A and B are shown apart, each in its own frame.
Chain A
Amino acid sequence: MKQPARSFPIPTPVQNAPVEEAAYGVEQDPFIQATPEQNEMVDSLTDEIFLYMYRDGHEEIVEDLKNSKDNLPEAVGTMAGNLVTTEIQLLEKDGGSFSEDMFVEASKLTVEQFTDLVEDEGIKEFRNNGETQAFMGEALTHAMGAAIDSDYPAVNEKSMMSVAQNLLEGDMDMQASPVSGTRVIEEVV
């Protein structure tokens, strides 16, 4: 059994942002309560993951996703969870460190990036924002499951239950989010 780990905080999502802001990513920093070091840590980690997604691992990932069309959210979530936990473990093996507080955030960003990828590659077409959100929510749930299954000790049954407890306690801003207007207009990469 994995060793106990403290619960990681829930990332502060886009909440109550005016539609225009949400749509264009202005004032959308999800790390409102995170330190600059933590922000940098997440960026650094996800940059490595995204580089892998779009370069070395691109063909394999796209191929796998195409073969998982019938089960795409689970495939995306599992890949995202595995990539994040593996990257953290590689980082730690090299003497680096990653704040477990930022695990959910890194997973969320990776799932979002995968969602762009499946759409860009024509693997999945999202008819509206609700469908995109549902896809990402399902994928993130599977990413958490993959993380619990992984060797990364910071994510385990206990820490995951603590996160849910914190949510119920009101750690997360419970105010409603706009259903629409959270997708950024096509970006030139």
Chain B
Amino acid sequence: MKSPSTSKFNPEKQRKSRSKMIGAVIGASLMLSGIGALGRSQGGTGSWLGDIWSGGKNLFGGIFGGGGKGSIGGLKRGSSVDAVVGSRKIASSQAGSGGIGGFFSNMFSSGESMIGFGTVLNSLGAFFTGLDDTGEEIASRTLDIREKLGTRALDIEESLGEEQLAINRMNAENAIRQTAIGSTFIGHTNPIAMVEGVKDPGPGLIVGRSPQEVGGGAQGILGSSSLGTISQGTTGRLV
């Protein structure tokens, strides 16, 4: 049976949900997602939480010279929000039992009335390193963190670019190959189709002496001194 509320649903009103995420929470969530993306781009662990953990260890471990000792793989599911409520400090063992829910809970357990991005970074540092007070260090190393993320993003872009170039090249060669298959040149495979996968067409009909250079010379075959030569020699055709 459907909930009574469904029959009264009004998108215009429903759009205004009473639960509103505050900026620090959105920021923390996106930072964790960026860290997870970093972990995934470096091989991934097969799970999003695992990727967040490996990315975080990589990112913050490099900065603090160690990295977290806990393992997010051992998270106790379901206790994420409740487990660490009331605990201000997150040691690695607590991170292991609290998961990213524990991370978020920790942000709100300080008793502070305002939460800024500084709190987010401090909580991230504590979460991934197991250190209790990383605030100042994190704040002073923000650029390093950013650079590390940026370098990896650039690597991905570069590899995607190379991948795209290879795809473009394959598409072009395939188009040539298709043309070759669909046409002949004096009874032979069109020499223009001499790309990988197409048999070397070899010489075509030759009347007189075959020129040594075709296409490579400035005059080309029409300007050749070998008058009366009709040739399909392959030398220099693919230069």
Question: Main secondary structure on chain A at its contact with chain B?
Answer: helix
Is B17 part of the contact surface with A, judged by Cβ < 8 Å? Answer: yes
Is A94 part of the contact surface with B, judged by Cβ < 8 Å? Answer: no
CB-nearest residue of chain A to B38 = A161
Is B25 part of the contact surface with A, judged by Cβ < 8 Å? Answer: yes
Is the CB–CB distance between B26 and A148 below 8 Å?
no
Question: Main secondary structure on chain B at its contact with chain A?
Answer: helix
- Complex Cα distance A160/B35, Å? 8
Q: A120-B3, A169-B146 are in contact. Are A25 and B16 (CB under 8 A)?
A: yes
Provide the residues of chain A in CB contact with B200, threshold 8 Å. none
Is the CB–CB distance between B34 and A164 below 8 Å?
yes
Stretch in B155-163, B180-188, B191-199 touching the partner: B155-163
Is the CB–CB distance between B17 and A109 below 8 Å?
yes
Is A121 part of the contact surface with B, judged by Cβ < 8 Å? Answer: yes
Q: Which of A104, A109, A141 has the most CB of B within 10 A?
A: A141
Is the CB–CB distance between A137 and B29 below 8 Å?
yes
- Complex Cα distance A47/B9, Å? 11
B residues 10-66 near A (Cβ < 8 Å) are 10-11, 13-38, 40-41, 48, 51-52
Flag A138-169 by CB within 8 Å of B: 1 or 0 each.
Answer: 10111011101100000011101111110111
Min CB–CB distance B95 → chain A (angstroms): 13
Residue of A50, A109, A142, A168 near B145 (CB, 8 A) is A168
- Complex Cα distance A59/B5, Å? 12
9 nearest A-B residue pairs (beta carbon): A164-B34, A130-B108, A70-B78, A145-B48, A176-B116, A13-B23, A176-B114, A134-B104, A160-B37
